[in-house]
Each structure stands twice: as C-alpha cells, then as structure tokens.
Amino acid sequence: MADQEELTEGARFASSVPARHEPFPLKGCGALDWGMQSRLARIFQPESRRTVMLAIDHGYFQGPTTGLERVDLSIVPLLLYADALMTTRGMVRSTIPPAARVPIVLRASGGPSVLRELSDERLAVSMEDAARLNASAVAVQVFIGGEFETQSVRNMTRLVDAGQRYGIPVLAVTAVGKELTRDARYLRLATRICAELGAHLVKTYYCAEDFDTVTAACPVPVVMAGGKKLLELDALTMAYRAVEEGAAGVDMGRNIFQSDDPVAMVRAVSAVVHESVKPQAAYDQFLRR
Ligand code: R5P
C-alpha cells in the first residue's frame, strides 16, 4: 500500500518553469496528432531528422525481383541497419520477424502487374489492418500525369482520411511513367500535389538540376527514391546530393539489396544520410567492408 501522505502532497511543481512541449522536429509535422508524430519519430532519427528506408515492396507488381527472391535470406539480415522497411503485408506476415524492431512502412496500393497499365491501382490494405500490423506509415502510389491520375490521387486522399482517423501517416510515392520526364518541374508538381492533398511525407526521384526547389516547395518531408541499380559510388553520390539539397533521407531498394555487399551498402548510405559523410569517404568505407 502506497504512503497516502506522499500521494496527496508534492513539492516539485517548479512553478517558475514553463511547461515543456516538444513536437517532433520534422518538417511540416508540428500540427499532427501525437500518434502521427510518434510514428514519424520511429521512421526518422530525431538527431538527423532523416531516414534510411529500405524499399523491398517491388513484388507487389513485378513478382520476385532480383535480390528479393528470398527475403528471409537477403533482407532480414539488413534490418538492423535500416531505419524503416517499406514492404507489403504479405511479406510482413510471412517473413519479417515480429521481434525485428524496424518500423514498417506498409505498401497499401496495388492491382495491376507489370503486364498491364500500372497507374490503374486501387487501395489494397485497410487502415485497420495497417494498425493491426503495427505499421508506422502506409504507402500509396500517385501517378501524376498518368492514365489513371485522378483515381490514384483519390486512392491517396482516401488513405489520408483513414490515416487521420487512426494516427497513421501516409507516404505518397510519386510514380513516373515511361513517357514522363523526371525533371524538377515535374517533380515539383507531383510532390506538391501530394502534400497539398494531405500526404504526410512524399517519396520522389532525384533530379540533377534544381532538386532543391523540389524539396523547398514541398511542405512535408521528401525522401529520395533509389531507382535502378547504379554503381555504388554513383548511388552514394546521388543520396548525398539529395540530402544536401533538402531531402529528409532516402527510400532505396535495388541500390542496396542488389549491391555486391548489401550490409556494407546500407551502412554506407546511412553514413551519408545521417552523418553527411562525403560520397567518396562512404564508398571507401563500403570497400573496406
Ligand atoms: C516504386 O514505385 C516502388 O515503391 C518500388 O517497388 C520501390 O520502392 C522502388 O525502390 P527502388 O527503385 O529503390 O528499387
């Protein structure tokens, strides 16, 4: 039984000290509900305010991608080094160890395979199931300029409405069709539309010119998409430039899991993203693995 006197009276009111309130210091997230901020704080490291998200969701439209044939063997050993894992609910339930402490960014749209028109996606996961899986965020593809542009935007806005109810942030992934140019003008348009319509964070490609205007014009965090496999030094250089030009980290897949040494590569990317290590130094670190 607790001592009643100690319970009823306390002296540590610190009346002269203003009450502390510290929103998670991430771009655009200060007005979000506590649950949203808490989930974002799992994905983004508080010190750097950046993330290294490992994307392995490719199978949702293209099947067993090179490097992802056996996620249990190739990806599970990487989980220690990633800040978040972008994947599907099928892969989470079948393969990702529940004890892995990596936050899950759950792919929540899908439908067409690589054999069909990719922009014809629908929502593919309910927010209730995302909550059941303890997802830290959900991800939806948005095809600005694509054949099913409006439908994909509608997928995103419905997901944002559900995310608001459950306190689960929505990552809008700006998909670039074969016919669209990945220049700053297009990427500004796509990322800004996603943010204006409620996405809590946006994934987009890097462009060599004026990428800083893409991140500046987007009021929520932008994470850089990896894209096709590059030489390691080139991938590290792209990641370095992206964060120097305002990205809040990266969401990379093939450039990590298709590397000759995925553990060394994810660690090198992490050094670039979180410690601003220069690309050549990070590459030297990669070679010394
Ligand atoms: C693309 O739109 C999907 O989100 C991908 O499946 C994935 O995230 C791409 O990753 P990366 O291009 O870095 O391999």
Question: 194-253, pLDDT tens digit by residue?
Answer: 999 999 999 999 999 999 999 999 999 999 999 999 999 999 999 999 999 999 999 999
For the residues 35-43, what does the mean pLDDT come to?
97
Q: Which residues line ligand 1 (CB under 6 A)?
A: 55, 57-58, 86, 141, 173, 175, 225-227, 252-255
- CATH class (in words) of the domain with range 33-287: alpha beta
- Give yes or no for residue 4 having a pLDDT over 90: no
203 among known catalytic residues: yes
For the residues 143-159, what does the mean pLDDT come to?
96
CA 62 to ligand 1: nearest atom? 6
Lowest mean pLDDT among 112-121, 246-255, 261-270: 112-121
CA 57 to ligand 1: nearest atom? 6
What pTM did the predictor assign?
0.95
Q: How far is the CA of 118 from the centre of ligand 1 (A)?
A: 13
Q: How far is the CA of 7 from the centre of ligand 1 (A)?
A: 55
Domain positions in the chain are 33-287
Could you say which of 203, 228, 229, 278 is catalytic?
203
Q: How far is the CA of 129 from the centre of ligand 1 (A)?
A: 22
pLDDT band at 7 (very low <50, low <70, confident <90, very high): low
In this predicted structure, what is the pLDDT of residue 5?
57
Q: How far is the CA of 37 from the centre of ligand 1 (A)?
A: 25
CA 257 to ligand 1: nearest atom? 14
Classify residue 79 by burial, with Cβ atoms within 10 Å: 0-12, 13-18, 19+.
middle
